[in-house]
Amino acid sequence: MTTLFISDLHLDPVRPHILTDFHRFVREQAAHAEALYILGDLFEYWVGDDDPQPAADEVAQALTALAAHGVPTYFLRGNRDFLLRDHYAARCRMRILPDPCVIDLYGQPVLLAHGDALCTDDLAYQAFRQQSREPAWQQAMLAQPLPVRIALAQQARARSIEHQRAVRPDADAQADGREDITDASAAAIAATFARYGVATMIHGHTHRPAIHLLTIDGQPRRRIVLGDWYDHGSVLRVDADGFTLAGL
């Protein structure tokens, strides 16, 4: 059997082809897997489980059907959908995992993370990340009327793109909202491996798909970065024989 890992689909009405790709992926690949892990940013933005965006209903239906087929789905919140709560997870029949967390993957401990906490060189984003993960901040946000939350999310997206242009003038901040995200820092990567004592880490967020074979403190380490789905899907397939990172 195979376990599948995806992240950074950024589902949004302006990119309907990604939702089509997701449905095909669930039918043709995930339905035959042992488990599916979604490591954050499934949606372009998430302002609360009461947001009636059509993509949310379609994803819930697809993942519910997957669960009925006997394939569990696990989810880590990303920097775009960190307000996703248990109500929507229950609709999808998926389990929310803490970010980061260590799982047993075919007999070896593997660290899972969304990946934004590794981008420590972006000080402005890390300050926002710390604030926005506070329960009081989240409660205040979710207490706002839905139209206000949607407007705030759209403003945040625009500020993020402008921030990328300021810190990286060559950044690929395109009209459809995609960004060239600051990469993970070597110091944060090394510190994370040391803290959790694992040999393998899987994360998304940076949109730089690759399998990095590293030596840290004299020990072999493997950092697997999932790609985004803006132009084509990125899937990590894991079984007892190893790791394969490829497109759909």
Nearest to 6 by CA among 35, 45, 47: 35
In this structure, what token pair is assigned to residue 129? 């990340």
Q: Residue 1: its pLDDT value, please? A: 87
Angle of helix 146-167 relative to helix 123-132, nearest 10 degrees?
A: 160
The pLDDT of residue 53: 87
Q: What are 85-137's pLDDT values in tens digits? A: 999 999 999 999 999 999 999 999 999 999 999 999 999 999 999 999 999 99
> What's the pLDDT at 173?
47
User: What is the predicted pLDDT for the residue at 154?
Assistant: 84
Residue 232 in this model has a pLDDT that exceeds 90 = no
Maximum separation of any 2 CA atoms in the chain, in Å: 53
Handedness of CA 193, 224, 184, 117 (dihedral sign): negative
What is the pLDDT confidence band of residue 82, given thresholds at 50, 70 and 90? very high
Counting the structural domains of the chain, the total is: 1
CB 123 within 8 A of CB 102: no
Give whole-number Cα distances, 183 to 8, 88, 166, 187, in Å. 15, 30, 16, 12
Dihedral of alpha carbons 87, 89, 93, 98, sign: negative
Which pLDDT tens digit goes with each residue over 157-205?
A: 777 666 555 554 454 545 455 666 889 999 999 999 999 999 999 999 9
- Residues whose CB falls within 8 Å of the CB of residue 93, separated by 6 or more in sequence, listed in order: 63, 64, 66, 67, 68, 73
Identify whether the C-beta of residue 65 lies closer than 8 Å to the C-beta of residue 25: no
* CATH label of the domain that carries residue 110: 3.60.21.10
What SS3 state is found at 17?
helix
Model confidence pLDDT, tens digit, residues 30-76: 999 999 999 999 999 999 999 988 899 999 999 999 999 999 999 99
57 and 49 Cβ atoms separated by less than 8 Å: no
User: What is the C-alpha to C-alpha distance for residues 59 and 40, in angstroms, rounded to an integer?
Assistant: 14
> What domain range is 141 assigned to?
3-247
Q: Distances from the Cα of 12 to the Cαs of 42, 79, 80, 111, 139, in angstroms?
A: 10, 15, 11, 28, 24
On the 0-12 / 13-18 / 19+ scale of CB atoms within 10 A, 20 is exposed
Give the mean model confidence (pLDDT) for residues 228-235.
93
* 176 SS3 class: coil
CA dist 44 and 12 (Å) reads: 6
Question: Does residue 77 carry a pLDDT above 70?
Answer: yes
Q: What local confidence, expressed as pLDDT, does residue 108 receive?
A: 95
Q: Please report the pLDDT score of residue 175 as a whole number.
A: 46
- Residue 167: CB partners within 8 Å, gap ≥ 6? 122, 124, 182
